[in-house]
């Protein structure tokens, strides 16, 4: 599985996404559940649709899929996901997103396709933070106790990286000071991490269940 890992929004390597469309197809599934911690309303909807518009402008045909609709319906979710070979997981609260992945079985589905290079997992902020083996340290910027689905906090990430990603580092973003706290906490507790400035994108791939940096998709 190819990975397009951005600090904020689509970042500065969108040519890689255009190349993906050329070599595969333009269908992509947008996962918005990191935003489930925010109240429903026009503002929340507008921000999600701004992500849709960015993808559309690149040439993608976007389908929004809320994992909430498939909690405890894993087989139904798989049927829907099989229509796509590209996924875009947007930012918000990483702990809420991780819970939604667990309750729907999206995390299990990723395991079935992780070694297939004809699949793409793209995302930013919380959408890349969940890829770590362990999410300790992220609680300095995302509240782990906000549990919109009524289950206990899940600290284990998807397990593809031994370090956590810390997006919005030294950037013009409202959370950049919180990321500084994450860095300090990780340094004091010997937790491995990788910082990304807004605009930064890491192109990576899953190889035998482990994420590895590569130069191009």
| Number of domains present in the structure of the chain | 1
On average, the pLDDT of the chain sits at 94
Q: How far is CA 10 from CA 55, 73, 157, 186, in A?
A: 8, 30, 22, 26
Contact call for residues 146 and 93 (beta carbons, < 8 A): yes
Compute the distance between CA of residue 63 and CA of residue 208 in angstroms, rounded to an integer: 29
pLDDT at 214 over 60: no
pLDDT above 60 for 215: no
CATH no. for residue 43? 3.40.50.880
Q: Stretch 177-193: mean pLDDT, rounded?
A: 96
pLDDT of residue 213: 62
Helix (H) or strand (E) holding 128: helix 126-129
pTM comes to 0.95
Angle at 214 between CA 193 and CA 78, to 5 degrees: 85
Q: Which domain holds residue 101?
A: 2-213
């Amino acid at each position: 599985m190819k990975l397009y890992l951005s600090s904020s929004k689509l970042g500065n390597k969108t040519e890689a996404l255009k190349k993906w469309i050329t070599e595969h197809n333009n269908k992509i599934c947008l996962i918005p559940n990191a935003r489930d911690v925010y109240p429903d309303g026009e503002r929340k909807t507008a921000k999600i649709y701004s992500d849709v518009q960015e993808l559309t402008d690149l040439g993608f045909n976007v389908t929004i899929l809320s994992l909430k609709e498939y909690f405890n319906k894993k087989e139904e979710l798989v049927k829907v996901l099989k229509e796509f070979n590209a996924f875009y997981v947007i930012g918000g609260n990483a702990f809420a997103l991780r819970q939604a992945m667990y309750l729907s079985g999206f995390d299990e589905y990723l395991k079935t396709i992780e070694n297939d290079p004809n699949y793409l997992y793209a995302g930013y902020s919380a959408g890349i933070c969940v890829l770590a083996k362990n999410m300790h340290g992220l609680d300095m910027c995302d509240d782990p106790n906000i549990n919109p689905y009524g289950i206990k906090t899940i600290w284990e990430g998807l397990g593809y990286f031994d370090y956590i990603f810390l997006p919005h580092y030294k950037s013009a973003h409202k959370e950049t000071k919180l990321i500084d706290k994450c860095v300090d906490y990780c340094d004091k507790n010997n937790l491995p991490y990788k910082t990304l400035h807004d605009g930064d994108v890491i192109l990576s791939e899953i190889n035998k269940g482990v994420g590895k940096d590569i130069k191009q998709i």
